[in-house]
Amino acid sequence: MFNKRLLIPGPAPIPPAVARAMSTEMFNHRGPRFAELIAEVTASLKRVFQTESRLFILTSSGTGAMEAAVVNFLSPGDRIVSLVNGLFGDRFASIAAAYGGNVERLESAWGEPLDYAALEARLREDKDSSIRAITVVHNESSTGMMNDLEKISRIRGDHPALLLVDTVSSMGAVDLPVDRLGVDVCFTGSQKALLLPPGLSFISASERAWKAAASSKMPKYYFNLQTAEELLKKGQTPFTPALPQFVALREALQIYFAEGRENCYARHRRMASAVRAAARALGLEPLVKEERFASPTVTAIMNPPNISGKRLQVMMLERFGIEIAGGQGALEGQIFRVGHLGAVDGLDIIAGISALEICLQLLGHPVKAGEAVGAAEEAMST
Ligand code: PLP
């Protein structure tokens, strides 16, 4: 197999220059070279987040940042409303509960839109402002559902609850103006749309969140952002940072801004609509029905009747070197997922769809050769 294509919802492919940047010599993480590097990449990341607030780079996966988002701004017993319509929303709620939060879950079926009306009603009845935070996953990678952050922000209005948002699989790929949307705490991971390997996470905190941090009583140590703030003033991190990832981050951000934010958003939108068009041409059903909720970075598709998604995945990999993902948690065995984020381009997607056509045909699904590829090409050229 000469060309492998990673079409899973992360880790996403990275540009060769970013991979090369990883093979750096080691240097002193408490010296001037690191201080200069962290200052530069922190400033660039603030442009990605569209925030002027504090932003920290953590050596952790996305879940570490999720934990940081909970433990730094809240106290045990705090009432937290968690919006859940997938695996990661569930994880966010579970972390908040694990640290003693009084979590109220507003759940919707996985793949269905969030219950915005229930959130509105819950906040309206909260006359004494006892709700301290709302947790939400912007882009549910487990279902391919992009939740409506603009709407959630509007519903929150001037209720003092902090808005804590997981943008692990959307930041960079979608216009996400953190300050304008009034997101108090926003975090993402390096391995999705931001052209990097796993290993770093990024988290921003609004002024309001930072005030709340001063009275937060949840236990914390590795992810204590007050300590991170002190050290950042000296151009350092509290603990040894993942130096190769930091060096690669500079390279990745340069590539990101060379493409341009708007172009990057448009590329992700095009790839998503191509995958959805191809699914429909194949007579398959995307899990997320409404276009306005379709994720630009990951598409979940119902397994064809009588065909094992697992077999399809294995065949795609063995015959064509194309890796797609299965369902997670409650959706295991029901869907397959195509990731179209990071250093993936239109022709990777066309190749993936062509392989999908061939494999589905071999597995006995009725396929007219070239129909899905044609639909994808059309979607991509609009
Ligand atoms: N949140 C979302 C939306 C994700 O897609 C993921 C990972 O796939 C995570 C959180 C967890 O990130 P990590 O696996 O880097 O801990």
Measure the CA–CA gap between 183 and 135, rounded to whole angstroms.
11
DSSP 286: B
Which part of the chain has CATH 3.90.1150.10?
A: 5-11+261-381
Please report the pLDDT score of residue 283 as a whole number.
97
Q: Given its phi and psi angles, is residue 199 left (phi above 0), alpha (psi -120 to 50 degrees) or beta?
A: left
By CB neighbour count within 10 A (0-12 exposed, 13-18 middle, 19+ buried), where does 249 fall? buried
Distance of CA 48 from the midpoint of ligand 1 (Å): 18
pTM over 0.85: yes
Q: Give residue for tokens 């919802």.
A: 9
pLDDT in the model for residue 382: 81
DSSP 335: E
- b/e per residue, 206-225, with b = 16+ CB within 10 A? bebbbebbeebebebeebbb
CB 176 within 8 A of CB 204: no
**Residues lining ligand 1, Cβ inside 6 A:** 10, 61-63, 88, 137, 139, 141, 166, 168-169, 189, 198
**What pLDDT score was predicted for residue 1?**
72
Q: Going by C-beta distance under 8 Å and a sequence separation of 6 or more, which residues neighbour residue 216?
A: 71, 72, 73, 74, 75
The answer regarding whether domain 5-11+261-381 maps to CATH 3.90.1150.10 reads yes
CB atoms closer than 10 angstroms to residue 1: 10
- The residue contributing the CA closest to ligand 1 atom 5 is 141
Which ligand 1 atom is the nearest neighbour of the CA of 86? 3
Give the contacts of 30 (CB within 8 A, at least 6 positions apart).
Answer: 236
Q: Angle CA(248)–CA(259)–CA(192) in degrees, nearest 5?
A: 50
Mutate-to-test residue for ligand 1 from 169, 176, 223, 245, highest number of ligand atoms within 8 A of CB? 169
Residue 145: predicted pLDDT: 98
CATH 3.40.640.10 intervals, the chain? 16-257
163 DSSP β-pair partners: 134
* Residue ranges in the chain whose pLDDT is less than 70: none
User: Which ligand 1 atom minimizes the distance to the CA of 138?
Assistant: 3
Asked if 173 contacts 268 with a C-beta cutoff of 8 angstroms, the reply is yes
CATH no., domain 16-257: 3.40.640.10
CA dist 302 to 111, 284, 321, 322, Å? 11, 7, 22, 18
